[in-house]
Structure 1
Amino acid sequence: MTTNFQTRSIATVAKGIRTSDGAGVRLLRSLGTPQVPLVDPFLMLDEFRSDDPNDYIAGFPPHPHRGFETVTYMLAGSMEHKDSVGNTGRLRAGSVQWMTAARGIIHSEMPKQVDGLMWGFQLWVNLPAKDKLSDPRYQDIDPGEIPERALEGGGTVRVIAGRYGDLVGPVGGVATEPLMLDVGLRAGGTLDVAIAAGHNGFAYVFEGRARLGDHEAPIERGHLAVLDREGDGLRIAAAGDEGTRVLLVAGKPIGEPVARHGPFVMNTRAELEQAFRDYQSGRLAQ
C-alpha cells in the first residue's frame, strides 16, 4: 500500500437503472441518468450483460453520432462493427474500441453469436468544442495490446487508457487525458491508484462489493461512485469474501456547456439542430 496517500472521498453513490437501447438491447445505465446526469467529461456508462440472446441479439443497427467519443470494452462475447467511412472489425472478449465520432459517423454494432454470455461496457466521452467537427477516427485495440499487471496477493490491473505505475494504456491522442482501468482484487486485496489533480472520476463496481476511498459502506455490484476531486487518487479494497472487480475512469473536465439529444452532443441548441439537419440531408458523415 502506498504511504502518505490521500484517497479521494466518494461524493455520490447511485444504483444503475435498467433500460434498453439500440434495437432493444437490455442495459444497466449508471451514468447519464437523473441521479448522475454527467461527470464532466463523461456523459454515459452502460453495462450490457446477459446469456439470453433475446436481450442482445438485435444489437445496435446503423445509427449516427456527432460531437463525442464512444468507448466499447468487451468482457465476453463478440460484436461486429461497421461504419459509414468503411471501417469494419470484430470486438472480442478483452478488446476495446475507442471511436471518436467528431463531426459525424454512422456505425453499427451487431452481436456475432446467438448463445452464450454477451458482456461489456459502453462509455460516452465528451469532446471540447474545438474538436467536435474534426475528422472521425477509430482506435481498435486487441486484448494483447492492453497491458496487465498481476498484483501481490492476487488480482490484476488492466490499463486501457492513462497510466498505472510504469504501465501505459494503448489509447492515445484523446483531449480529456483519460484514465481507464479494469481492477480485479481477491478477497482482502487493496490497491491505491493515482489520479491526476483536478480530474473528475468515477468507479463502477461490476463484480462483488468494493470499499472505495474512505466510504464506510461497501459499494454493491451495479453501483457507480462519483469521486470527490480532492486527493491523490483512489483506494480500492475488496469487501466480503468473494473479491471484487471495478472499472475506474477519470479525465480532465471540459467545463463547457453541454447540449445533447439522442446521438448528438454539442454546445448549443443551434448546433444540435444543425446536426439533425445534416443527418437528414445525408451530410453528417461527409
Structure 2
Amino acid sequence: MTTRTLKQIIKALPATDGGGVKLLRSLGQSQAARLDPFLMLDEFSSTNADDYIAGFPDHPHRGFETVTYMLDGHMLHRDHLGNRGDLKPGSVQWMTAGRGIIHSEMPQQESGRMRGFQLWVNLPAREKMKPAAYRDIQPEDIPLLDLKDGSRVKVIAGSAQVAGRVVAGPVQGLSTEPLFLDVHLPADGHFVHPVAEGHNAFVYLYESSAEIGPTAQRQPLALHAVGVLSGGDHIEVHAGKEGASFLVLSAKPLREPVVQYGPFVMNTRDEIEQALADYREGQLV
C-alpha cells in the first residue's frame, strides 16, 4: 500500500460570482490552479444576507458538469429544461451542462446562514455536446455512515470503503469515475480510505485542523485550502484537537486540452467561438 502525501496546497481566495455572491475559490482561481478533471471549487458561507442575496441569476454553461452541495440554507434551481430543484441542507444538485443549459440558482431566504460548495467537473471531448441533464439528490438519498469512533462519512459519488463496508453513493457510472465524500472526524480522529491508482485526488479542509499522510510524514493542510495529493492507492487524514471536516474528491483524469471562456469549457478556441455564437443566436441549448 502506498499512502498519498501532500503535493501542493492551493489556499482559497476571496472572490465574487453570479449577482455578487461572496465566496472562497480554491481550484479555478487561475488556469494553473486546476486538477484534471476538476476545474473549480467554490465554498460559500455567510450569515450576512448581503453576501448571498443576489444569488446566481440566469446564466449559460456548456461542456462540463456542475455539482452544488448545500450544508445550510435554501437555494432554488430553475433551468430552460423546466427543471425546478430545491437545494436545502444536505442536498446535492448534479447538473450536466453538455451542449448547453441556461439556469439560475437563487436564495429562498432573506436571513440566516447560507453555506455550501460548488464544484465544476470537466467532461471528455466525446461528451461535451451531449444533451443537458439535471439531477436533484435529496439528503435521505445520500448514505451517511456513523462509525464507532465518532466519525461520520457522507457518500455522494462513487463508493466508500470504511470499517469493512462498501457503501455506494447515489452518483455512479460517470466517465470520470468520481469519488466525493464529506468526512467529519472527532478530536484526534484518523481516516483511511482507498483511492484508485492513476486518479487525481485532493482533500478540502473546511472546518478545524487536519494533517495529511502517513504518521511519520504528516503535513498540515491549511483551513479553506485544497490539498492536492501525490500518487498512491489510499489516503490518510489525521484530525486535530477539535476534530476536522473535509471533502475528499478523486476522479479519472481526461488528459485533454482545456479551453475555458467564463461558463464555457471546451477543447479548442474554435469550439469556444461556436459556443458564444450559439448563445448569441439562441441555439446554445
Q: What's the offset of the Cα at 1:35?
A: 8.3
The one-letter amino acid of 1:233's match is H
Say which of 43, 58, 62 aligns to 1:62.
Answer: 58
Distance in 2 (CA, whole Å) between partners of 1:207 and 1:233 is 22
Q: What's the offset of the Cα at 1:223?
A: 1.2
Q: Secondary structure, in 3 states, of the residue corresponding to 2:112? A: coil
CA spacing shift, 1:191–1:36, aligned 2, 3 Å: farther
The residue aligned with 1:192 is 192
Tell me, yes or no, if the aligned pair for 2:176 and 2:253 is still in contact at 8 Å.
yes
**Stretch of structure 1 that moved more, 146-155 or 204-213:** 146-155
The residue aligned with 2:248 is 248
The residue aligned with 1:102 is 98
**Stretch of structure 1 that moved more, 207-216 or 74-83:** 207-216
Q: Secondary structure, in 3 states, of the residue corresponding to 1:144? A: helix
The residue aligned with 1:233 is 234
Give runs of aligned pairs for residues 77-92 of structure 1, distance below 5 A.
77-92=73-88
Q: What's the offset of the Cα at 1:102?
A: 0.4
Distance in 1 (CA, whole Å) between partners of 2:32 and 2:152 is 28
The one-letter amino acid of 2:202's match is F
Tell me, yes or no, if the aligned pair for 1:47 and 1:121 is still in contact at 8 Å.
yes
Distance in 1 (CA, whole Å) between partners of 2:83 and 2:136 is 10
Tell me, yes or no, if the aligned pair for 1:14 and 1:36 is still in contact at 8 Å.
no
TM-score by length of structure 2 reads 0.96
Tell me, yes or no, if the aligned pair for 1:208 and 1:220 is still in contact at 8 Å.
no
RMSD after superposition: 1.1
The residue aligned with 1:216 is 218
Q: Secondary structure, in 3 states, of the residue corresponding to 1:139? A: strand
The residue aligned with 1:115 is 111
Distance in 2 (CA, whole Å) between partners of 1:154 and 1:164 is 17
The residue aligned with 1:153 is 149
The residue aligned with 1:48 is 44
Deviation string, structure 1 residues 57-98 (Cα, Å, up to 9, x no partner): 000000000000000000000000000111011100000011
Q: Secondary structure, in 3 states, of the residue corresponding to 1:11? A: strand
Tell me, yes or no, if the aligned pair for 1:7 and 1:235 is still in contact at 8 Å.
yes
Query: Percent of counterpart pairs with the same letter?
Result: 53
Structure 2 unaligned residues grouped into runs of 5+: none
Structure 1 unaligned residues grouped into runs of 5+: none
**Stretch of structure 1 that moved more, 261-270 or 10-19:** 10-19
**Stretch of structure 1 that moved more, 144-153 or 129-138:** 144-153
Tell me, yes or no, if the aligned pair for 1:14 and 1:35 is still in contact at 8 Å.
no
The one-letter amino acid of 1:284's match is L
* Correspondence 1:277 to 2:273: no
CA spacing shift, 1:280–1:178, aligned 2, 3 Å: same
Q: What's the offset of the Cα at 1:218?
A: 1.9
Say which of 139, 150, 156 aligns to 1:143.
Answer: 139
Distance in 1 (CA, whole Å) between partners of 2:173 and 2:188 is 36
Residue correspondences, number: 279
Q: What's the offset of the Cα at 1:37?
A: 2.0
The residue aligned with 1:19 is 15
Q: What's the offset of the Cα at 1:36?
A: 4.9
Q: Secondary structure, in 3 states, of the residue corresponding to 2:270? A: helix
Q: What's the offset of the Cα at 1:216?
A: 3.3
Deviation string, structure 1 residues 191-211 (Cα, Å, up to 9, x no partner): 101111100011100000111
